[in-house]
Amino acid sequence: MFVKVSELTPDMNEVNIKVRVLEAGELKEIQTFRGERTLSEAVVGDETGRITLTLWGEHAGKVSAGDAIEIKNGYTRVFRGELRLNLGSRGTIEKIADSEVPSIEEVPEISPQVPEGYEPRRRGGRDFRRGRSYSRRRY
């Protein structure tokens, strides 16, 4: 089942969506707790709105402005107060027919918002406020 940009909410997994690439950024190397990682960012959208897409690892740099793409097994996260769509090692990306998504001009300037009072899930690390570590395992 495919969702629309307007239906995206924080912490969704297994997101399948068809979108148009509106802008595509350059490759970046960043340092994470997993070590150095490669990523690229793009702005994508459909007839319901637009969202920033972060492409991790092997997917980085694989899209260009104007491409019509299908993302399978993506996920959403809130980064710096903004809802973002992500595609990592478990996901896939394919180019699709232009007719399956609206043209760049038809994509509205609306973006999904982070709900008021949203608190992100803890994913592990160090809680400096309490001076202790907590598990990195997901339950």
**CA 104 to CA 94: how far, in whole Å?**
18
Residue 120 or 10, more confident:
10
Whether 44 is in a domain gets the answer yes
Report the range out of 30-34, 36-40, 115-119, 124-128 with the highest average pLDDT.
36-40
Whether 101 is in a domain gets the answer yes
Q: What is the DSSP letter of 101?
A: S
pLDDT tens-digit profile of 28-48?
Answer: 999 988 899 999 999 999 999
pLDDT tens-digit profile of 18-29?
Answer: 999 999 999 999
> pLDDT > 70: what percent of the chain?
87
Q: Is the confidence at residue 131, as pLDDT, over 60?
A: no
DSSP secondary structure string for all residues of 75-99: EEEEETTEEEEEE-TT-EEEE--GG
**CA 8 to CA 65: how far, in whole Å?**
22
Average pLDDT over residues 123-130: 54
Whether 62 is in a domain gets the answer yes
pLDDT tens-digit profile of 50-65?
Answer: 999 999 999 999 999 9
pLDDT score of 139: 39
Q: Is the confidence at residue 92, as pLDDT, over 50?
A: yes
CATH of the domain at 127: 2.40.50.140
pLDDT score of 138: 46
pLDDT score of 36: 94
Whether 86 is in a domain gets the answer yes
Give the domain range for residue 43. 5-134
**CA 88 to CA 69: how far, in whole Å?**
15
Q: How many domains does the chain have?
A: 1
